[in-house]
Chains A and B, each alone.
Chain A
Amino acid sequence: MADNIRICGLNKNFKGFTLENVTFDVPKGSVVGLIGENGAGKSTTIKSILGLVNPSGGRVEVFGKEVSALMAEEKGRIGAVLGETCLPENLNLKDIDGVMKHIFPQWDTGKFFSFADSFSLPRDKKVREFSRGMRQKVSLSVALSHGAEVLVLDEPTAGLDPVARDEILDLLYDFMQDEEHSILISSHIVSDLEKLCDYIAFLHNGRTMFFEEKDRLEEKYGIFRGTEEEVRALGRAVVKYTRGEYGCSALVLREEAPRELPLERAGIEDIMLYFVRGEKLC
Chain B
Amino acid sequence: MLGTIIKDFKNIFGQFIYYFVLMVVFMAVSVITKNIYYYMGAIVFFCVAVPLSALAYDEKDNWDKFALASGVTRNQLAVSRYLLGLIVFLPMWAVSFILVAAGGMWNIENLSVLLSYGGIALLTIDAILPVVLKIGVEKGRLVYILTILIVIALGGVLAFLVEAIGGDSVLYSSVAVLALGIAGFFLSIKIACNIYRKKDF
- Chain B residues positioned under 8 Å from A189 (CB to CB): none
Q: With A and B bound together, what is the CA distance between A86 and B71 in angstroms? A: 15
- Chain B residues positioned under 8 Å from A47 (CB to CB): 65, 200-201
Residue from B7, B62, B65, B71 within 8 A of A72 (CB atoms): B71
Contact, CB under 8 Å: A99 / B71: no
Q: With A and B bound together, what is the CA distance between A235 and B65 in angstroms? A: 48
Residue from A80, A88, A98, A101 within 8 A of B69 (CB atoms): A80
Q: With A and B bound together, what is the CA distance between A85 and B65 in angstroms? A: 10
Cβ distance B4 to chain A, nearest Cβ, rounded Å: 8
Could you mark each residue 1-15 of chain B with 1 if its beta carbon is under 8 Å from any beta carbon of chain A, else 0?
Answer: 011101100110010
In the complex, what residue of chain A is closest to B70 when comparing beta carbons?
A103
Instruction: Name the prevailing secondary structure of the A interface residues.
Output: loop
Contact, CB under 8 Å: B57 / A90: yes
Cβ distance B17 to chain A, nearest Cβ, rounded Å: 15
The answer to whether the Cβ of A91 comes within 8 Å of any Cβ in the partner chain is yes
Contact, CB under 8 Å: B61 / A87: yes
- Chain A residues positioned under 8 Å from B63 (CB to CB): 86-88
Could you mark each residue 168-189 of chain A with 1 if its beta carbon is under 8 Å from any beta carbon of chain B, else 0?
Answer: 0000000000000000000000
- Chain A residues positioned under 8 Å from B68 (CB to CB): 50-52
With an 8 Å Cβ cutoff, the count of chain B residues facing the other chain is 25
- Chain B residues positioned under 8 Å from A102 (CB to CB): 2-3, 6
The answer to whether the Cβ of A129 comes within 8 Å of any Cβ in the partner chain is no
The answer to whether the Cβ of A54 comes within 8 Å of any Cβ in the partner chain is yes
The answer to whether the Cβ of B106 comes within 8 Å of any Cβ in the partner chain is no
Cβ distance B39 to chain A, nearest Cβ, rounded Å: 29
Q: With A and B bound together, what is the CA distance between A232 and B61 in angstroms? A: 53
Contact, CB under 8 Å: B198 / A54: yes
Contact, CB under 8 Å: B61 / A98: no
Cβ distance A158 to chain B, nearest Cβ, rounded Å: 15
- Chain A residues positioned under 8 Å from B61 (CB to CB): 85-90
The answer to whether the Cβ of B66 comes within 8 Å of any Cβ in the partner chain is yes
The answer to whether the Cβ of A40 comes within 8 Å of any Cβ in the partner chain is no
Could you mark each residue 76-101 of chain A with 1 if its beta carbon is under 8 Å from any beta carbon of chain B, else 0?
Answer: 10101010111111110001001111
The answer to whether the Cβ of A115 comes within 8 Å of any Cβ in the partner chain is no
Contact, CB under 8 Å: A76 / B7: no
Known contacts: A99-B3, A100-B3. The answer to whether A88 contacts B57 by CB under 8 A is yes
* Sample (10) of A-B pairs whose CB atoms are under 8 Å apart: A50-B69, A54-B200, A74-B71, A82-B69, A86-B61, A89-B61, A90-B11, A91-B7, A102-B2, A104-B71
Given contacts A71-B71, A75-B70, 19 further A-B contacts (CB under 8 A): A50-B65, A50-B69, A52-B200, A53-B201, A54-B200, A72-B71, A73-B71, A75-B69, A75-B71, A76-B70, A76-B71, A80-B66, A80-B69, A82-B62, A84-B62, A87-B63, A100-B3, A103-B67, A146-B70
Among all A-B residue pairs, the 9 with the closest Cβ atoms: A75-B71, A102-B3, A72-B71, A103-B3, A86-B66, A50-B69, A52-B201, A53-B200, A80-B69
